[in-house]
Structure 1
């Protein structure tokens, strides 16, 4: 299950960054991928839709809140946590 979450999150970020999923590594930041604030918001919406979850994210201040966007891996872990919480 978590590998499919990882793959889907990477695919969403890759689409937003106009990259191939294979070009994305877990330690990269959104800035490294060339994803700006609008791209981040669009990525969050896509993640919410793909996993049927609500991401605790403040578009006005992305660094505030419980959803860690510091790296691709952090986003994957945050989505895994939200999906697990919803399933419980």
Structure 2
């Protein structure tokens, strides 16, 4: 597990109180029952933690993030691009 993935999971646990053992790249946001409000809070916390801007628009319910692996992959790419 990468540092990015671990930090994202820490943020999710902090914001939702979901058991960390349930967090895998394959886990879908819907099966984890992450609400849209919780997801927005997670996005803000991830942006702050990594000093990036995640391309997510809560008004359009962007479907790019269906599973945790989608989020981890996007953040890893943004962190890499930032240098």
The two structures have a TM-score, normalised by structure 1, of 0.84
User: 2:15: which partner in 1?
Assistant: 16
Greater relative contact order: 1 or 2 (C-alpha under 8 angstroms, separation 6 or more)? 2
Q: Distance in 2 between matches of 1:69 and 1:18?
A: 20
Q: Distance in 1 between matches of 2:18 and 2:24?
A: 11
Deviation of the 1:15 alpha carbon: 2.2
Q: Distance in 2 between matches of 1:53 and 1:72?
A: 18
Runs of at least 5 residues in structure 2 that lack an aligned partner in the other structure: none
Q: Could you list the runs of 4 or more consecutive aligned residues of structure 1 that deviate by over 4 angstroms after TM superposition? A: none
The two structures have a TM-score, normalised by structure 2, of 0.88
User: RMSD of aligned C-alpha atoms?
Assistant: 1.5
Q: Distance in 1 between matches of 2:66 and 2:11?
A: 16
User: 2:76: which partner in 1?
Assistant: 80
SS in 2 for 1:78: helix
Higher helix share: 1
